[in-house]
Structure 1
Amino acid sequence: MSLANRRILLGVSGGIAAYKSCELVRRLREQGAEVRVVMTEGATHFVGTATFQALSGQPVRVSLWDESAEAAMGHIELARWAERILVAPASADVIARLAHGHADDLLTTLCLASAAPLYLAPAMNQQMWAHPAVQANLAALRERGVRMLGPAAGEQACGDVGSGRMLEPHELRDALAASFGGGALAGLKVVVSAGPTYEDIDPVRFIGNRSSGRMGFAVAEAAAAAGAAVTLVAGPVSLPTPAGVARRVDVRSAAQMQAAVLEAARDAQIYVGAAAVGDYRPQQVAERKLKKQAGADLVLQLAENPDILATLAAQPAPPFLVGFAAETHEVAAYAQDKLRRKKLDMIAANEVGGGRGFEAGDNALTLYWPDGSLELARTSKAALARRLVEQVAARYRAVRG
């Protein structure tokens, strides 16, 4: 994807992640974008204006009261010039001021005065990110159409570990590029399911599996980076929404996941079923916690869960269906049988157990379709997801045109 001649207004607010925005400017310009930088006063305490001016090749604006720029209403010119506005990092303070419509500095004034789509890349301490006030401000902005890119989870500058890290510059660049279209999945709606499902036994216990959701989340991010409008249906996982994903629906049980997928897939062209959906659920869910009785075994009667892929395949005009087969043995045989039996367009098979698959940060896949196959060598789940999406796009174009 290219950003050639695209006009990106980068807002930089106060936070240690501001140093990453220097690399972001470089990566945007590598793709041909024209970048202009607006900094808050706080941001200048972390990175100097001269750095951004050298990287962008354009004057850097900080103050709404710059007489030389504002003689010709410079902030309005900037607001009209921008095709996209990205605030990276977006601090909790800037998020709060935007949520409440404040225009008390140049950056917030530009955000209110521009018709360009607004993207925020949050960056803050994990406790601050989790605060109800921050989450309420984010919810208000999302309702107005502001797009959130991240944050990611991991080690933070303060020493904490958790959600709140700003996405990496290449991830932000790819999300902006995808917003202009032109990727392998440009113009398509894609639904991705990810993570486990939990089936309640009583208010305390449940039946579940070891899926972390990381592979499915990586697929959702890769599909969005390829230009698709992505809906992510997520089981019970603690992962931030991937960059570029248009909509996320959180569910718990297989029945809830089926309902969410069927609703989202009504006008979708592709469905990638990366979720590890439980095959069975307890026939009865106890209203109270089941108590242990000495010397007595507990017997659970299980009922079969709905088959999401088979349900979609049985529709008059199903989307392009991509399944996953996580197996402990005879991987190829089970995957190919599932491909035929469920009438899928493609299946991604991998071996799990023994530290492979669910618990690992990397993975390997073998792709099967009715008249072919392809091995994708072991690599990080993010890189593997990008290769998978490339193959899905190619097969979709070959089959559906």
Structure 2
Amino acid sequence: MSPASVNAHLAFTGYLGRRLHMGVCGSVAAYKALDLLRRFKDTGADTGVTLTDSACQFITPLSFEALGASPVYTGMYPVGDDVFGHLTPGDACHAFLIAPATAATLARLACGLADDMLSCQALAFEGPLVIAPAMNPRMWNNPATQENWARLKQRGHVAVEPGCGRMACMDVGQGRLADLDTIFLYTLRAMTPQDMTGQQVMVTLGPTREQWDGVRFWSNPSSGVMGACFAVAAWLRGAQVHAVCGPATPWLPADITRHDVTGAAQMYQAAADLWPRMDTGIFTAAVADFSPEPFGAEKFKKSGTETLSIRFTPNTDILKTLGTAKRENQRIVGFAAETGNLHENAVGKLRRKNADMIVGNIVGTPESGFQSATNKVFVADKTGRTEEWPVQPKTEVAWRILDWLLQM
């Protein structure tokens, strides 16, 4: 996978007009909040920050201001005219993230205390509260901390469990701040209108590998980024997502049910098992149409061989087979990766596969297709509507396709 596409499925940018507030507590992990701030600013969201007194011992308010956070709060009492700063996040923000959250802050939140600016703001905030703790494993495992954590989860707050590993103090166990991708996505989901709540969505993504001998296989350069964009976008919007993933496809958040497969037969079986209970199927995977007749488990030796002929047998056409079995209330989006005659081939595939929508693109260019962070697509649906979109991030393509589906 090219460096440009490694995290391309997480680079959503459609949050202009949304607002987030971040709380930062006194932990060695406080510096990681700067990376989170950068990522939220990249989405287009306006972001404010509140640092506790302890957090200011680890990192300065100026660091957040320099990265564009506004406003930035510290002490309990206001400086200047902002006498209602403890209420501002509750008046203006779509989500509130506390990362890292210390044991003291968990206790304040659990007990409803409001003796510093951050706890006041959290207590007055009626929207989604995302909490990502970080502390020493012994502090995390203390019964008092666990009781506070359980109470916060019972209240419906978005609880991002700390990770395991070696701490700054060299202790080993659970207590590390969770992976930033995880915190970022759970917070983004809290900021996103849940217009796909209750929907079951299946996405196939990546390549398949059709084994020939003990070390060789037939495949293609698909990275799975386009499908991963769909899986994450649908999950951000509230859907329950099943991702049928070919080899070497991108990381996905734990709430997306991942079904890892290797060959086309495995992908077909996994998709066929899931399909009867799905509302929508999005088939982005670059499935091998044919498989080589296997040589066997041993490595083929070229000694004395001047030429080589390999016979291929057809694989099940997953999109066509499941499209034929589609119920009236199910929707299918297929992809057409082409090297020419894009419009004609895409429209033809739409009819042949009994799909509701086909997204076609030309592969083999740096800005479109395999292993690219962007795509340039032609879209056609069963009503006869067609559109051609310019080069844009694959996250934006996925988001716009989901918008289109919701309108059909």
Matched, 1:45 2:58: yes
Partner of 1:252: 262
Q: How many residue pairs were aligned?
A: 348
Alpha-carbon spacing, 1:36–1:73, altered in 2? closer, same or farther (3 Å):
farther
Alpha-carbon spacing, 1:24–1:212, altered in 2? closer, same or farther (3 Å):
closer
* Aligned equivalent of 1:329, options 337, 340, 352: 340
Matched, 1:358 2:358: no
Partner of 1:265: 275
Matched, 1:310 2:324: no
Task: Report matched runs for 1:217-296 at 5 Å.
Answer: 217-242=228-253, 245-296=255-306
Matched, 1:174 2:188: yes
Matched, 1:86 2:130: yes
Structure 1 contact 9–84 (Cα < 8 Å) conserved: no
SS of 1:297's equivalent? coil
SS of 2:203's equivalent? strand
Say which one has the larger Rg: 2
Structure 1: gaps (5+ residues): 139-147, 153-165, 396-401
Matched, 1:381 2:391: no
SS of 2:202's equivalent? strand
Partner of 2:34: 19
* Structure 1 range deviating more: 307-316 or 7-16: 7-16
* Structure 1 range deviating more: 12-21 or 361-370: 12-21
1:286-316 Cα offsets, whole Å, 9 max, x none, are: 1111111334322222111111112212226
- For residue 327 of structure 1, report the CA deviation from its aligned partner: 0.2
* Structure 1 range deviating more: 112-121 or 6-15: 6-15
User: TM (normalized to structure 2)?
Assistant: 0.68
Partner of 2:150: 112
1:374-397 Cα offsets, whole Å, 9 max, x none, are: 1222111112221122112222xx
CA distance in 2, matches of 1:71, 1:314: 53
- For residue 112 of structure 1, report the CA deviation from its aligned partner: 3.0
Q: Greater relative contact order: 1 or 2 (C-alpha under 8 angstroms, separation 6 or more)?
A: 2
Alpha-carbon spacing, 1:198–1:84, altered in 2? closer, same or farther (3 Å):
same
Matched, 1:198 2:242: no
SS of 1:17's equivalent? helix
CA distance in 1, matches of 2:41, 2:270: 40
CA distance in 1, matches of 2:143, 2:149: 11
CA distance in 2, matches of 1:235, 1:298: 28
User: TM (normalized to structure 1)?
Assistant: 0.69
CA distance in 2, matches of 1:65, 1:257: 46
Amino acid at match of 1:320: R
- For residue 213 of structure 1, report the CA deviation from its aligned partner: 0.8
State the identity %.
Answer: 25
- For residue 259 of structure 1, report the CA deviation from its aligned partner: 1.7
CA distance in 1, matches of 2:103, 2:238: 35
Partner of 1:162: none
CA distance in 1, matches of 2:20, 2:202: 30
CA distance in 2, matches of 1:294, 1:149: 55
Structure 1 contact 271–321 (Cα < 8 Å) conserved: yes
- For residue 256 of structure 1, report the CA deviation from its aligned partner: 1.3
Alpha-carbon spacing, 1:18–1:71, altered in 2? closer, same or farther (3 Å):
closer
Task: Report matched runs for 1:45-194 at 5 Å.
Answer: 45-46=58-59, 51=72, 53=74, 57-58=85-86, 64=104, 74=113, 86-88=130-132, 102-103=141-142, 110-114=148-152, 115=154, 116-120=156-160, 152=181, 171-178=185-192, 182-183=194-195, 185-194=196-205
- For residue 275 of structure 1, report the CA deviation from its aligned partner: 0.8
Alpha-carbon spacing, 1:264–1:211, altered in 2? closer, same or farther (3 Å):
same
CA distance in 2, matches of 1:14, 1:350: 46
* Structure 1 range deviating more: 359-368 or 37-46: 37-46
Structure 2 contact 163–178 (Cα < 8 Å) conserved: no
Amino acid at match of 1:207: W
